[in-house]
Amino acid sequence: MSSWKRQAHLWHRWLGIVFGLLVLLWFGSGVVMMYVPYPALTEAERMAWLAPLAAPQVRVTAWDAWRAADRPGMPAAVRLNQVAGRPAYHFQADGRWWSVWADSGQPLRMTAALAADSARNAAPGARRLSAELIDIDQWTFGRVQEHKPLYRVSADDAAGSVLYVSSRTGELVRDTTRSERAWNWAGSVIHWIYFTPLREHGQPWRQVVMWTSASALLLALLGMVLGILRLRVRRRYAGGRCSPYRGWQAWHHWLGLSIGTLMLTWLFSGWLSVTPFGWLASPGVTAEDRQAFAGGALSREDLAAPVDGIVRAHPGLLELEWRRIGGQLNFSLLDRGRRQLLLPVSTERLQQAMRALRPGVPVTFVSLTSEDDYHYSHHQQAVLPVVRAQFDLADDTTFYIDPLQGDIVGYADRNSKWNRWLFNGLHQLDFASPLRARPVWDVVVIVLCGLGFVATLAGVVLGWRRLARRS
């Protein structure tokens, strides 16, 4: 055997011994994640938690509440909803939230008892709720950073609910059940290496994911090269066999050749998920984009606008959000059915707001009532209809705006478009809606994951047998 082949065999063997079990778990955990994602508070769950606003309780304006919050400048976002039976204004400023009671004008001060009372709507079957203040635990990664520390509220209901309430706004920001938490240990925690001592440190966690997936990719690549080199179609091995192997070795060889290309694409796209070395990084929708679309920051006059009449005119209103579009104040209303603007926005004003996203750049507007390649949702309902604003720029900047909500709901540029095909396409087999349709997608992905699992299992068995013999 030549020197480079021997080195390739040794690298493949030892990479398999070190990382083979992790790749095996990635295949299994990927199937679990198809049905049980990492805990998150969905819009439907949040709507079920919210209680209708009571107009007589709204006694102070948002401007008076903002002055009571004693923060400089103007807030980036404002919303009004019920917290533990009382209306409260929530202001976003400097990446944090500040809340003030709308009935008294006093700053909201959270306690464990108030957090338990706030979470009660999310666990109606519970007789007892107990709350404790935490900074982080296994289920509080992701989009809850600006609400930390959190109150973790444990319920004694049948589902074993554990609910997370913001210490800054008193709002429910995440919910979990006993079953969801248990399945996630076999799903997201393993697949993303989401162990709290590591995940709470962002960059070290990212480096671990990047280098483990890169090592697994090298493992699979070497296996494919060696598998092809050991294959004989013309000058066959004894007994007319194309492979020299038997038993677990034969399973590993043939399955590796059969599904090896797909394993490479899965590992490569998984490696891309943490944007290694900044490759294909995209800024997404920035705070500057949102302010440009709004036509400037909220003003004192915007916050001083009376809203009790709006609440009174819309029975069952769950939440009111201040929203500027092209320099004009509007309000977003949320009820049990949907979220929509108080006043419809004209096409001219909407286009004016969209042009402000990239001033002076030619732009093409297209109204979409169905998904396109870059505005869609993987097995969920995408926001539709939308207006697509595609700017004539080198990076092909594109925004998607919901005209009913007056909000930017999507973004794409050259890097994110590449990432859509190289990650969503290769990693989730999400190339087009026919393949995404269920149960076709489920069957295809489970079968392929099963083949990858067996191929990897055979390699793990062989590696550990070799290690046992050396011992």
Would you tell me how many other CB atoms lie within 10 Å of the CB of residue 147? 21
Reported as a single tens digit per residue, the pLDDT across 28-51 is 999 999 999 999 999 999 999 999
| 421 within some domain | no
Token pair of 66 as six digits: 């903002």
Residues 268 and 322 in one domain: no
What's the domain range around 263? 3-36+195-281+438-468
Distance CA 62, CA 304 (A): 6
Q: Which of 116, 122, 171 shows the shortest CA–CA distance to 143?
A: 171
| 424 within some domain | no
Residues 341 and 231 in one domain: no
Residues 52 and 32 in one domain: no
Distance CA 381, CA 333 (A): 20
| 429 within some domain | no
* 86 φ/ψ angles, rounded to the nearest 5 degrees: -125, 145
Say whether the peptide bond before residue 403 is cis (omega within 30 degrees of 0). Answer: no
Find the largest Cα–Cα distance for the chain. 90
| 430 within some domain | no
User: pTM above 0.85?
Assistant: yes
pLDDT value, residue 42: 92
Would you tell me how many other CB atoms lie within 10 Å of the CB of residue 26? 24
Share in percent of the chain as helix, strand, coil (round to 5): 45, 20, 35
Q: Structurally, how many domains does the chain consist of? A: 3
pLDDT value, residue 411: 97
Distance CA 425, CA 431 (A): 5
Reported as a single tens digit per residue, the pLDDT across 53-83 is 999 999 999 999 999 999 999 999 999 999 9
Reported as a single tens digit per residue, the pLDDT across 352-387 is 999 999 999 999 999 999 999 999 988 788 899 999
| 427 within some domain | no
Place of tokens 């087009």: 432
pLDDT value, residue 435: 85
Last residue of a domain, one of 397, 412, 427: 412
Say whether the peptide bond before residue 439 is cis (omega within 30 degrees of 0). Answer: yes
Report whether 237 contacts 430 (CB < 8 A): no
Residue numbers in the chain where pLDDT is lower than 70: 1, 471
Residues 6+ apart with CB under 8 A from 198: 204, 205, 208
In the beta sheet, which residues pair with residue 107? 100
Last residue of a domain, one of 186, 204, 235: 186
| 417 within some domain | no
DSSP assignment letter at 241: B
Report whether 105 contacts 65 (CB < 8 A): yes
Q: Is the dihedral of CA 112, 114, 115, 121 positive or negative?
A: positive
Distance CA 81, CA 396 (A): 38
| 74 within some domain | yes
Reported as a single tens digit per residue, the pLDDT across 252-293 is 999 999 999 999 999 999 999 999 999 999 999 999 999 999
Place of tokens 């600006």: 146
- Residue 62: alpha-carbon gap to chain centroid: 31
Last residue of a domain, one of 150, 165, 186: 186
Distance CA 109, CA 98 (A): 10
Distance CA 293, CA 387 (A): 13
| 432 within some domain | no
